[in-house]
Amino acid sequence: MSMRELTVLGTASQTPTRQRNHNGYVLRWDDEVILFDPGEGSQRQLLHTTVTATDLTRICVTHFHGDHSLGLPGIIQRLSLDRVPHPVAVHFPAGGAEYFARLRHATSFHETAELACEPVDADGQRIALRGGHTLTARRLRHPIETYGYQLVEPDGCRMLPERLAAYGIGGPAVGELIRVGHLDVGGRRVHRDEVAVPRPGQRFAFVMDTGLCDAVYALAEHADLLVIESTFLDSEATLAAEVGHLTAAQAARVATESGVRRLVLTHFSQRYADPARFAAEAREHFTGDLVIAEDLGTVAVPPRRVASPG
């Protein structure tokens, strides 16, 4: 059975706190298990979850600031220690290739894992995933080269059993109808849209360190689940803009304007002791599902939107 769920390894920005580890997020999306931005301590945080290094199929790094990448050496070495049998794709800003090379070989180890390095060198670069899904990288606004990621499932259709039965269509003929788009039954051609309703593909977006820019909205557009940094509260909006970060209010407004269904705020500055302040600020601008990320928490991708029969 397929699963679409986010596991949070850490939620702190810049430095860990006693309650929050450095960043780290694992997305289970059917057959893909993607580790985003493994900060320091990510390998140990995994031990407190149901995810193992062997599960990982892909690693995505938004940029090479330490709180988003210092966990790479441990994760990469763990892949070899556990003799992960499949290639693990790694995506990161091409301009940071030297940092990645250093982190990959930060210490001596016996490398057995196969890393398929696929750097991101263009805004809007598309990466093909399993099952026909697509991962798109978009350039964000931060002092160093930074990309956000958007995972998109292709649109499909949902067959309606009662309509199939009315035409006497069943068994392998259903698969043929889905594949070809029409089927001749009893002297009549039945088209797929007569026995199905559209099934919009689901979307996931991951937006880390950035000032507000067009790419933030492009990534967030119609996301079923948006994971987005909200380093600061609105009282520090000027500082946030200066250092290339978002406030909880900005992230919430992006979610509302982009039609996001479930919003996950994370990457909190250590200056704030009470996470409820982020929720209160976000609620002024967003009325949908809101999650204030906590270390080792899980967040499900919302159930698929169901289109009604026409």
30 is in an annotated binding site: no
Dihedral (C-alpha) 115, 116, 120, 122: value to the nearest 10 degrees? 170
Q: What is the mean pLDDT of residues 88-117?
A: 98
Euclidean distance between CA atoms 161 and 181, whole angstroms: 16
Catalytic residue among 30, 31, 67, 121: 67
- What would the pLDDT profile of 76-97 be if each residue is shown by its tens digit? 999 999 999 999 999 999 999 9
- What would the pLDDT profile of 170-186 be if each residue is shown by its tens digit? 999 999 998 899 999 98
In the numeric block, which tokens belong to residue 71? 């966990």
Report the percentage of the chain scoring pLDDT > 90. 92
Angle, helices 97-104/72-81, rounded to nearest 10 degrees: 50
Euclidean distance between CA atoms 251 and 282, whole angstroms: 8
Q: Which helix (H) or strand (E) holds 139?
A: strand 134-139
Structural domains of the chain sorted by starting position, each given as residue range(s) with its CATH number in brackets: 4-155+200-300 (3.60.15.10), 159-196 (no CATH)
184 is in an annotated binding site: no
Euclidean distance between CA atoms 97 and 117, whole angstroms: 10
Q: How much is the pTM?
A: 0.92
- What would the pLDDT profile of 7-16 be if each residue is shown by its tens digit? 999 999 999 9
Q: What is the mean pLDDT of residues 208-212?
A: 98
Q: Supply the DSSP string of 9-51, one letter for each residue.
A: EE-BSSS--SS-PBPEEEEEETTEEEEE---TTHHHHHTTSS-
SS3 at position 198: strand
Clarify whether 234 is annotated catalytic: no
Predicted confidence band at 2 (pLDDT cuts at 50, 70, 90)? confident
Euclidean distance between CA atoms 261 and 254, whole angstroms: 12
65 is in an annotated binding site: yes
Strand partners, 211: 141
152, 167 contact by CB (below 8 A)? no
Predicted confidence band at 35 (pLDDT cuts at 50, 70, 90)? very high
305, 262 contact by CB (below 8 A)? no
63 is in an annotated binding site: yes
53, 73 contact by CB (below 8 A)? no
